[in-house]
């Protein structure tokens, strides 16, 4: 799917907000994403917090967030901005697929351009 096709879906306006997410392959349109977790790579004890360490992932778990993490699609997106977001999101999961996520409300996250979409739904698969 091209950035232009993604933009056309967004412009139809089924949802109030959109984000782009890398996740495991095989997610279908309509899938409701579970809430993400706040993961820390630096030991939170350094700033006075005692959080559980996940040995498998190698991160500290700061708990469940109120939605699913995505890279934000701006309020008035352009093809160029969507293309940049599609490039940037690869760094979050090289082995998965890329999806357009929609929802009715979002808030910013800790990462640059991160958007946490509440009750996020898979709108479509963009690419492998």
Domain ranges of the chain: 3-36+66-127
Q: What confidence score (pLDDT) does residue 74 get? A: 86
Q: Which pLDDT belongs to residue 105?
A: 96
Q: Say what the pTM is.
A: 0.91
CATH number of 3-36+66-127: 3.20.170
Tokens of 109: 């996250």
pLDDT in tens, the chain (128 residues): 999 999 999 999 999 999 999 999 999 999 999 999 999 999 999 999 999 999 999 999 999 999 999 999 988 999 999 999 999 999 888 889 999 999 999 999 989 999 999 999 999 999 99
Tell me, what DSSP letter sits at residue 33?
P
The Cα–Cα gap between 98 and 83 comes to 12
pLDDT at residue 93 in the model: 83
pLDDT at 94: 80
Helix (H, G, I), strand (E, B) or coil at 116: strand
Phi, psi of 84 (to 5 degrees): -65, -45
Cβ within 8 Å of residue 39, ≥6 positions away: 54, 57, 59, 60, 61, 62
d(CA 81, CA 111): 17
């Amino acid at each position: 799917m091209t950035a232009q096709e993604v933009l056309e879906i967004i412009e139809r306006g089924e949802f109030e907000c959109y984000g782009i997410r890398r996740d495991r392959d095989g997610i279908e349109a309509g899938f409701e994403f579970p809430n993400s977790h706040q993961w820390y790579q630096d030991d939170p004890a350094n700033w006075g917090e005692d959080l559980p360490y996940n040995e498998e992932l190698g991160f500290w778990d700061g708990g469940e967030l109120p939605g699913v993490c995505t890279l934000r699609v701006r309020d008035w997106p352009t093809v160029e901005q969507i293309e940049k977001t599609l490039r940037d999101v690869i760094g979050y999961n090289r082995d998965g697929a890329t999806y357009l996520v929609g929802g009715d409300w979002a808030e910013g996250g800790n990462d640059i351009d991160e958007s946490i979409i509440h009750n996020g739904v898979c709108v479509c698969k963009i690419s492998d």
